[in-house]
A and B are shown apart, each in its own frame.
Chain A
Amino acid sequence: MQHSITGSSALSARPCFTFYRPSGWTLAAAVVALIIATPILTILGFLFYPGSGTWQHLADTVLADYVINSLLLMLGVAAGAGSIGICTAWLTSMYSFPGRQLFVWSLLLPLAIPAYIIAFTYTGMFEAAGPVQEWIRESFNLRYGEYWFPEIRSLGGAISMLSLVLYPYVYLLARTAFLDQSVCALEASRTLGCGPWRSFFFVALPLARPAIVTGLSLALMETLADYGTVQYFGISTFTTGIFRTWFGLDDSVAAAQLSGLLMTFVFVLILLEHWSRRQARFHHTTNRYQTLPNIKLPPLMGWIATIACLLPLFFGFLLPVGQLTQWAIMTFSEMVNESFYELMLNSFPLAGAAAVLALIPALILGYGNRNRATPLSRFLVRLSGMGYAIPGTVIAVGVLIPFGALDNSIDNWMLKHLNISTGLIFSGTVFILLFAYMVRFFTVSLNSVESGLAKIRPSLDEAAKTMGYGGFEILRHLHLPIMKGTLLTALIIVFVDVVKELPATLVLRPFNFNTLAVRAFELASDERLADSSTAAIAIVFVSIIPVIILSRTIAHSRPGQPQ
């Protein structure tokens, strides 16, 4: 999913009357926020529930593995994604070298590939039976076991895969931070006797640190949320552990408690993110900008820079997409049939419905808090907006428990009084899936609505009023046209996020209901890698849309320049 890349925009603090009388909206906003926060509150509640026998068993056996593997994974991704992101961001924002213009936006492309897809694509290429090792054996006349080759299905492999697709978060935020820095700060450091390298390490990098930490915490949230890659590589982490406890050991309480533990990890990252976003304000050097110098590198250095930027793009996007395309051409006639169309007919309307559903509560909350945000309402927004950081697996557990209980009590009541069994009217249908998507992706919509509303300063409403416009006319003639673009972006981003989403869909989908992501993952898990490529490539295609939107935004985001 795409996290918000800009800081939450501050609304004008000036008290004023806009066309909404507060109480109704504030109340509606509180109710909506509470409903969306239900899964998170459920999981948090289970942290205080006495541990079952299973919990003790977990603690004695695999829990340490989960913790250590998850931590190692995070550490590795932080190092990998961090170094790739910072290097490419620095090169593309400060120097000019062959292909720079192209790299500025194309370095974002790996964001379009879900980690589980790149994982099985690489497995197909680099496992023992894959083309690469086969080529080694044939050309050097060796047999399997007689040469060293890195094992792709390993912790290191997972770290590489996740780093390759998550570095754009760091790249994006670091680049914005480097561009935001006044050149003057760098030039001042040069006049004070620091060379370019010292200036980078002692001025540019510390100034960009908050943005880099924000980018890293977003990448690490995705790392913690990942289920597909670690499951496919057979690594025991929290997400795979929750699945195993729920489905293997059939213990919902222990699964919820594991989820709660995972959520405490996430909280740390959320706090880190908020903290660094706040710090970023203090690292703002000036409001006067100068065009960046774009130091021209000498030919040799220039080509080294080109290669340095090409590598992540090649391994994170071109190579896997090339492999997928080759497989897709191979299996096209066989795989693209009615059942493939059915997958699309399941995925796309589902994603569309989820996008609209996530927008409605965002609008209610956005307007409810627009001018009269109280500490309580701000807290509720924070709480309900946490879904983006919570792994899909955890959200699945968090919605299944309350809705399962609700279904059971409705069923019991109906049986007792009307003698009809209603079954699982919520948790067994598409309803619960849509609700889970709404919880997870609501933040994306909320951020868009809030940034859209921030563009409509209270004075615009007031100006319209002095020109004789009443409440709904202002909404129609002012708010809708101004917010149109942002709202559309929110719809597209949530749509794509839902198409990519794997773990929550795996758990919550109704019986026999398949989406592109689920099918791709199932086929890959059955070692039918080539067969999974058509669904995978469809996902990648759709996922490129928000990346293009994103790259257009950053192209125009240089401060001090008219849009």
Chain B
Amino acid sequence: MTPQLQLNKVSIELGGQTIVSNISLELKPGEIGCLLGHSGCGKTTLLRSIAGFEQPASGEILLHGKQVASPQTTLPTEQRNVGMVFQDLALFPHLTVGQNIAFGMRNYSKKETNQRIELLLELVGLPHLIKQHPHQLSGGQQQRIALARSMAPRPDLLLLDEPFSSQDAERREQLAREIGHILREDNITAMLVTHDQHEAFAMADTIGVINNGKLSQWDTPYNLYHRPNSREVAGFIGQGVLVKGTVLETAKLHTEFGEVCGNFSQPFPAGTEVDLLVRPDDIIHDDRSDNFGCVTKKAFRGAEYMYSLRLPGNTDVLCLAPSHHNHKIGEKIGIRLELYHLVIFKHTAQSSFLASETNKI
């Protein structure tokens, strides 16, 4: 099957600076991809090059098997048949909702246009707003209208540039899930750009973590969380800490928790010092365990408590415990490590906590 979108070793320079380097990835028809990374990592630039607003310095971009951009040639945006939802939504202020959606459908008959407007408004759940102007709508409504407008001309590929950034955190995930649902219903291939992993998880089939202009990992959400291929990805996705250990033999480590057995994410010879990724849900609160941790901080999350525990060897780890296990700060609680697949990296002198904002409790 021809991929709907294909990037081959794409690099982009802006003002003499390399923004994105050597990125290759593919989207199958109907697949929803996501570029995830901190602001300034180059993900938006990459998206804009797919739309045709930037030209790659090397590599090529193919849409439906046809080359649309390379350092030598570029197909103008208006001929690429890509739809885009912009960060600021870019609804035309002087047109009604209906007119906004019809704007891209010049090549359709009037009857067809009206039918499609009705269908799309039905799909985004706002059929009554057809005669309103954008400024009369709420943020979430504008979002859905922008989506409907970009879907109207049946684009080969839909690009979404941080479309939920203006929403508050709780709304984002919900909107992302809804919109992912709408896109799947219409079998639309799409690429989302965001810095919010929850948004990415809620919407995408495949996620690429971009770090300093390079694609660290292009994988399913499950693999990104459970099998990160680098410290950066492990740090960016989810919460967790790195615990120092020594390789004893294949599939066996010595750590502060004692011996830990499981498949290694990458092979290391015996005796190598490594760092083991431990997620909060990998540490189980168990009063019968011989291992103890001293509670240093705690945060109530409703169904569970997030504890920060200090191990006897002075390593801090996170532990997610059901919320009826209410322990005081300073109390020692029993813990057990439950890990089958061991994500390990070569040991460095870095702090054991990953540089993730989400580790703050």
On A, residues with C-beta under 8 Å from B are: 15-17, 455, 457, 459-460, 462-470, 477-478, 481-482, 562-563
CA distance A457 to B15 in the complex (A): 22
Contact string against A for B residues 64-95, beta-carbon threshold 8 Å, 1 for contact and 0 otherwise: 00000000000011111111101110101110
CA distance A470 to B106 in the complex (A): 13
Q: Is the CB of A465 within 8 A of B90?
A: no
Which are the 3 A-B pairs with shortest beta-carbon distances?
Answer: A467-B104, A459-B90, A465-B77
Q: Is residue B340 within 8 Å, beta carbon to beta carbon, of the partner chain? A: no
Determine the chain B residues whose CB is within 8 A of the CB of A463 once the complex forms: 84, 86, 90, 92, 149-150
Determine the chain B residues whose CB is within 8 A of the CB of A457 once the complex forms: 88, 90
Q: Is the CB of B88 within 8 A of A464?
A: no
Known: A468-B153, A469-B78, A470-B78. A462 touches B90 (CB 8 A): yes
Determine the chain A residues whose CB is within 8 A of the CB of B104 once the complex forms: 466-468
Determine the chain A residues whose CB is within 8 A of the CB of B90 once the complex forms: 457, 459-460, 462-463
CA distance A147 to B81 in the complex (A): 87
CA distance A303 to B76 in the complex (A): 66
Determine the chain B residues whose CB is within 8 A of the CB of A467 once the complex forms: 78, 83, 103-104, 149, 153
CA distance A481 to B149 in the complex (A): 19
Known: A463-B84, A466-B82. A562 touches B53 (CB 8 A): no
Q: Is the CB of B77 within 8 A of A462?
A: yes
List, sorted by A's number, 29 A–B pairs whose CB atoms are closer than 8 Å.
A16-B53, A17-B53, A17-B54, A457-B90, A460-B90, A462-B53, A463-B84, A463-B90, A463-B92, A463-B149, A463-B150, A465-B78, A466-B78, A466-B80, A466-B82, A466-B84, A466-B155, A467-B78, A467-B104, A467-B153, A468-B78, A468-B79, A468-B104, A470-B78, A478-B92, A482-B93, A482-B94, A562-B136, A563-B135
CA distance A17 to B51 in the complex (A): 12
Determine the chain A residues whose CB is within 8 A of the CB of B103 once the complex forms: 464, 467, 477
Q: Is the CB of B15 within 8 A of A15?
A: yes
| Number of residues of chain B lying within 8 A (CB) of chain A | 34
Known: A16-B53, A468-B104, A468-B153. A460 touches B92 (CB 8 A): yes
Determine the chain B residues whose CB is within 8 A of the CB of A455 once the complex forms: 93
Q: Is the CB of A481 within 8 A of B94?
A: yes
Output the least CB separation between A13 and chain B (Å): 13
CA distance A469 to B84 in the complex (A): 14
Determine the chain B residues whose CB is within 8 A of the CB of A562 once the complex forms: 135-136
Closest B residue to A477 using CB positions: B103
Q: Is the CB of A468 within 8 A of B106?
A: yes
CA distance A478 to B94 in the complex (A): 8
Q: Is residue B14 within 8 Å, beta carbon to beta carbon, of the partner chain? A: yes
CA distance A465 to B80 in the complex (A): 10
Q: Which of A459, A460, A466, A469 contacts B150 (CB 8 A)?
A: A466
CA distance A477 to B103 in the complex (A): 9
Determine the chain A residues whose CB is within 8 A of the CB of B93 once the complex forms: 455, 482
Closest B residue to A466 using CB positions: B84
Output the least CB separation between B5 and chain A (Å): 15
Output the least CB separation between B280 and chain A (Å): 36
In B88-121, the 8 Å CB interface with A consists of 88, 90, 92-94, 103-104, 106-107
CA distance A470 to B83 in the complex (A): 15
Determine the chain B residues whose CB is within 8 A of the CB of A460 once the complex forms: 90, 92
Contact string against A for B residues 121-160, beta-carbon threshold 8 Å, 1 for contact and 0 otherwise: 0000000000000011000000000000110010100010
Known: A467-B104, A470-B78, A482-B94. A459 touches B135 (CB 8 A): no
Contact string against A for B residues 225-250, beta-carbon threshold 8 Å, 1 for contact and 0 otherwise: 00000000000000000000000000
Query: Which of B81, B88, B90 has its CB near the most chain A CB atoms (within 10 A)?
Result: B90
Question: Chain B at the A interface: mostly helix, strand, loop or mixed?
Answer: loop
Query: Which of B14, B54, B92 has its CB near the most chain A CB atoms (within 10 A)?
Result: B92
Known: A466-B78, A466-B80. 19 other contacts (CB 8 A): A16-B48, A16-B53, A17-B54, A455-B93, A457-B88, A463-B149, A463-B150, A465-B77, A466-B82, A466-B104, A466-B155, A467-B149, A468-B153, A469-B78, A470-B76, A477-B103, A481-B94, A482-B94, A562-B135
Closest B residue to A468 using CB positions: B78
CA distance A481 to B79 in the complex (A): 24
Closest A residue to B44 using CB positions: A14
CA distance A462 to B150 in the complex (A): 12
CA distance A467 to B105 in the complex (A): 8
Known: A16-B53, A482-B94. A462 touches B84 (CB 8 A): yes
Output the least CB separation between A81 and chain B (Å): 36
Determine the chain B residues whose CB is within 8 A of the CB of A470 once the complex forms: 76, 78
Q: Is the CB of B84 within 8 A of A15?
A: no
CA distance A463 to B103 in the complex (A): 10
CA distance A107 to B152 in the complex (A): 50
Output the least CB separation between B188 and chain A (Å): 14
Determine the chain A residues whose CB is within 8 A of the CB of B106 once the complex forms: 468
Contact string against A for B residues 40-71, beta-carbon threshold 8 Å, 1 for contact and 0 otherwise: 00000000100111100000000000000000
Closest B residue to A480 using CB positions: B94
CA distance A464 to B94 in the complex (A): 13
CA distance A478 to B77 in the complex (A): 17
Closest A residue to B14 using CB positions: A15
Output the least CB separation between A427 and chain B (Å): 44
Output the least CB separation between A511 and chain B (Å): 48
Output the least CB separation between B207 and chain A (Å): 23
CA distance A462 to B103 in the complex (A): 13
Determine the chain B residues whose CB is within 8 A of the CB of A469 once the complex forms: 78
Determine the chain B residues whose CB is within 8 A of the CB of A477 once the complex forms: 103
Closest A residue to B54 using CB positions: A17
Determine the chain B residues whose CB is within 8 A of the CB of A464 once the complex forms: 103
Q: Which of B81, B86, B153, B159 contacts A459 (CB 8 A)?
A: B86
Q: Is the CB of B87 within 8 A of A459?
A: yes
Q: Is the CB of A466 within 8 A of B51?
A: yes
CA distance A563 to B155 in the complex (A): 34
CA distance A16 to B80 in the complex (A): 18
Determine the chain B residues whose CB is within 8 A of the CB of A563 once the complex forms: 135
CA distance A460 to B90 in the complex (A): 5
Query: Which of A16, A460, A466 has its CB near the most chain B CB atoms (within 10 A)?
Result: A466
Output the least CB separation between A444 and chain B (Å): 23
Closest B residue to A455 using CB positions: B93
Output the least CB separation between A350 and chain B (Å): 33
CA distance A16 to B55 in the complex (A): 11
CA distance A470 to B149 in the complex (A): 18
CA distance A145 to B254 in the complex (A): 113
Closest B residue to A18 using CB positions: B53
Known: A562-B135, A563-B135. A462 touches B86 (CB 8 A): yes
Q: Which of A15, A459, A465, A481 contacts B88 (CB 8 A)?
A: A459
Determine the chain B residues whose CB is within 8 A of the CB of A462 once the complex forms: 51, 53, 77, 84, 86, 90
Determine the chain A residues whose CB is within 8 A of the CB of B88 once the complex forms: 457, 459
Q: Is the CB of B83 within 8 A of A466?
A: yes
Output the least CB separation between B47 and chain A (Å): 11
Closest B residue to A470 using CB positions: B78
Output the least CB separation between A520 and chain B (Å): 41
Determine the chain A residues whose CB is within 8 A of the CB of B48 once the complex forms: 16
CA distance A398 to B9 in the complex (A): 60
Query: Which of A460, A465, A477, A482 has its CB near the most chain B CB atoms (within 10 A)?
Result: A465
Contact string against A for B residues 193-210, beta-carbon threshold 8 Å, 1 for contact and 0 otherwise: 000000000000000000
Output the least CB separation between B100 and chain A (Å): 9
Query: Which of A16, A467, A481 has its CB near the most chain B CB atoms (within 10 A)?
Result: A467
Determine the chain B residues whose CB is within 8 A of the CB of A17 once the complex forms: 53-54
Query: Which of B53, B86, B135, B150 has its CB near the most chain A CB atoms (within 10 A)?
Result: B53
Output the least CB separation between B150 and chain A (Å): 7
Closest A residue to B150 using CB positions: A466
Output the least CB separation between B45 and chain A (Å): 10
Determine the chain B residues whose CB is within 8 A of the CB of A468 once the complex forms: 78-79, 81, 104, 106-107, 153
Closest A residue to B161 using CB positions: A459
Contact string against A for B residues 316-342, beta-carbon threshold 8 Å, 1 for contact and 0 otherwise: 000000000000000000000000000
Determine the chain A residues whose CB is within 8 A of the CB of B84 once the complex forms: 462-463, 466
Output the least CB separation between A488 and chain B (Å): 14
